[in-house]
Amino acid sequence: MTLRWQSVARAAGLASPDGSARPTIFAEMTALATQYDAANLGQGFPDSDGPEWIRQAAANAIHSGANQYPPGRGIPALREAIAAHQARHYGITVDPGTEVLVTAGATEAIAAAVLALCGPGDEVVSLEPFYDAHAAAIAMAGATHVTVPLVPGAGGFRLDAATLETAVTANTRVILVNTPHNPTGTVLSRDELEAIAAAAVRVDAVVVTDEVYEHLTFDGLAHTPLASLPGMAARTLTISSAGKTFSLTGWKIGWITGPAPLIDAVATIKQFLTYSGGAPFQPAIARALTEGDADIRELRDSLTHRRDLLSSALADIGFEVGRPGGTYFVCADATPFLSAEVPDGAAFARALPAGAGVACVPVSAFCREGSTTARDLANWVRFTFVKDEATLREAIRRLRRALTQGSPQNSD
Ligand code: GLN
């Protein structure tokens, strides 16, 4: 008997040959990192916690009684702070009463949105590579996943606009966008966003955007929410969260904003997933969104520095590096280090913790098995630079020692 979870696991790239359960690629690589005491540049989570004053605000909330179910849509103070954040940063107006829903991280918002909008026979178009939870949500809905490649080149990974045109059809119910993009670090340009918007309008599809790295952009690149494009607010659900912005990934406070009828639909599903959660974290994040701009700037500056440190060292070691415009991640082509025993990025990533004392994640884990993109990016791996500088320098030293001969070990 094939059970539904097996098709979900397969869609998210978790199928074991024998059909048994397997952890996500992130959990698998973190386990290998622990086993070999490797520098964990695999799973994307910061190794230092977010600002003390935000954590103190949550502690205070616990001590002053914010410990029972919060309202299903989130506490009013947080919904107001989210609406104010959208207005202040992007000029997007949403009504905190009807157009904002607080979720258990962005992951729940994505699942609830896809489950609310799609079912068997519907197609969901996403970029490829894609974050694993996107494929899983589409599979849970029983919908069909259609992908549009991000193609590596001199300007980083860019949208294949011609494929977008053919991928979006009358069967497309949702276009699921992720910018800044995990794993490639691409910040979609105005032209790319306009192409997606035009495709959505052409077939009357809803756009769902995962923007959790919205504040983590570099080199003066600005993140543009699709909802801010002319006419798009009426058909766009915008998802973000506090985890990446404030280095509090375990708090799982996310949100989704958009037109009231669409938010009603998502809220209907969400109330039967978690109903509500994160009571003491909600007031803390309400304050963070309102008073935390300096902390965001500080994180962005330090991440820019850490991106530069890791990217230039990887290039120096011999990887081809896709320069990320945002996120926690840099993708690198490991072709120069492959061999008959280690034939692709997946094998390289699995061998690296034992062989070099460093963990990364294969980009193929973000692709559909057998797809053109999976083939094109088979040799690529993703490293995260959201680790402290000492960890990054140690990882660079280890990679240099394991992958190059006779190079100076302190020139990172
Ligand atoms: N978002 C994190 C990453 O991309 C992983 C989170 C998880 O383990 N599911 O690395």
Q: Does residue 182's CB lie within 6 angstroms of at least one atom of ligand 1?
A: yes
For residue 248, what pLDDT is reported?
98
Ligand 1: nearest atom to the Cα of 44: 10
Q: Which of 205, 264, 193 is nearest to 236 (CA)?
A: 205
* pLDDT higher than threshold 90 for residue 81: yes
Average pLDDT, integer, range 102-121: 98
Tell me which DSSP letter residue 342 carries: S
Average pLDDT, integer, range 275-284: 98
Q: What b/e sequence results for 304-318 when a residue is b if at least 16 CB atoms lie within 10 Å of its CB, and e otherwise?
A: bebbebbbebbeebb
Instruction: Give the tens place of pLDDT for each residue, 114-163.
Output: 999 999 999 999 999 999 999 999 999 999 999 999 999 988 999 999 99
d(CA 313, CA 393): 9
CA 365 to ligand 1 centroid distance, Å = 12
For residue 407, what pLDDT is reported?
47
Task: Give, using CA atoms, the residue closest to atom 8 of ligand 1.
Answer: 26
For residue 120, what pLDDT is reported?
97
* pLDDT higher than threshold 70 for residue 400: yes
Q: Is the pTM of this model over 0.75?
A: yes
For residue 412, what pLDDT is reported?
44
**Mean pLDDT over each residue of the chain, to the nearest integer:** 95
* pLDDT higher than threshold 50 for residue 408: no
Average pLDDT, integer, range 216-240: 97
Q: Does residue 43's CB lie within 6 angstroms of at least one atom of ligand 1?
A: yes
DSSP string, 136-186: HHHHHHTPEEEEEEEEEETTEEEE-HHHHHHH--TTEEEEEEESSPTTT--
For residue 409, what pLDDT is reported?
44
Average pLDDT, integer, range 90-101: 98
Kindly calculate the radius of gyration of the chain based on its CA atoms and give it in whole angstroms: 21
Confidence of residue 18 (pLDDT cuts 50, 70, 90): low
Top-confidence residue, 7 or 269 = 269
Task: Evaluate the CA torsion angle 400, 401, 404, 407 in order and state its sign.
Answer: positive
Q: Does residue 26's CB lie within 6 angstroms of at least one atom of ligand 1?
A: yes
CA 408 to ligand 1 centroid distance, Å = 33
Instruction: Give the tens place of pLDDT for each residue, 294-346.
Output: 999 999 999 999 999 999 999 999 999 998 999 999 999 999 999 999 999 99
Contact assessment for residue 149 and residue 376, using Cβ atoms and an 8 Å cutoff: yes
CA 243 to ligand 1 centroid distance, Å = 11
Q: How far is CA 386 from the centre of its chain?
A: 13
Average pLDDT, integer, range 398-412: 71
Tell me which DSSP letter residue 22 carries: -
- Coil, helix or strand at residue 358: strand
Q: Does residue 249's CB lie within 6 angstroms of at least one atom of ligand 1?
A: no
Contact assessment for residue 251 and residue 108, using Cβ atoms and an 8 Å cutoff: no
CA 204 to ligand 1 centroid distance, Å = 31
Ligand 1: nearest atom to the Cα of 30: 8
Ligand 1: nearest atom to the Cα of 132: 9
Average pLDDT, integer, range 187-199: 98
CA 43 to ligand 1 centroid distance, Å = 5
For residue 411, what pLDDT is reported?
44
Q: Does residue 24's CB lie within 6 angstroms of at least one atom of ligand 1?
A: yes
